[in-house]
Amino acid sequence: MSFYNSHTFGYINTIVVSTTFSILYHTYEESNYEIMFFDYLLAFLWSTYEMYFSAVYFGPVATVDILFLNCVLLMWNKSIGYNNYYIFNHSVWHFANAFKCFYVSSLIKQALEHPA
């Protein structure tokens, strides 16, 4: 339980705050670059937390999985064009990130139930 309290607290808060900045950025029609900076900074921290967890607690296979998912999601985000389908495509990208978080959370649960 100490693993959960000490490490996932920051991970969960990073996700919540990053998502809040992302919502604010989209609310301001993606024109506020200060909010964009914090959105991207927190997204970087979010990925860093995931890589840290995977490298320290989950093993090499999960680390490669999470690194691969983060790279694919980053490339997907950067490839979304500003066209008639932007809102839909970007929303689907946000859902894909949410599913990645569920995957990482399942690994956290496994690490708690079966500590190395």
Cβ atoms of residues 67 and 74 within 8 Å? no
So where are the chain's domains?
A: 2-113
Question: What number is the average pLDDT over the span 45-62?
Answer: 87
Closest of 17, 7, 10 to residue 109, by C-alpha: 7
Cβ atoms of residues 21 and 28 within 8 Å? no
Residues 86-112 have pLDDT tens digits of 888 888 998 899 889 888 888 877 877
Helices 33-53, 60-79: axis angle to 10 degrees equals: 160
Phi-psi region of 29 (alpha: psi -120 to 50; beta: other; left: phi over 0): left
Taking the alpha carbons at both ends of the chain, their separation in whole angstroms is 14
pTM of the model: 0.78
Residues 64-82 have pLDDT tens digits of 999 999 999 999 999 999 8
Tokens 């399942």 map to which residue? 106
